Amino acid sequence: MEWVRQARWVADRDRWTSSGVAAGMDMTLALIAHLHGDELAGGIADGVEYDWHRDSTWDPFAAKNGLL
């Protein structure tokens, strides 16, 4: 797996990793969508009242933590 400076999460073959706790929730929903479809993942996000960020490249904390 290649390290990515600005990524909310990274999926590489069968390995998934996130940049933090909330990013891990986004990554988990992305994994569910990958395995079972967007409808199920979106339903789970709505059910737990979570605003799912679907863009893995959106990482507002990368700059704050000196990664850019």
pLDDT tens, 12-64? 889 999 988 999 999 999 999 999 999 999 999 999 999 999 999 888 888 88
Q: Give the residue with greater pLDDT, 4 vs 19.
A: 19
Return phi, psi of residue 21, to 5°: -65, -55
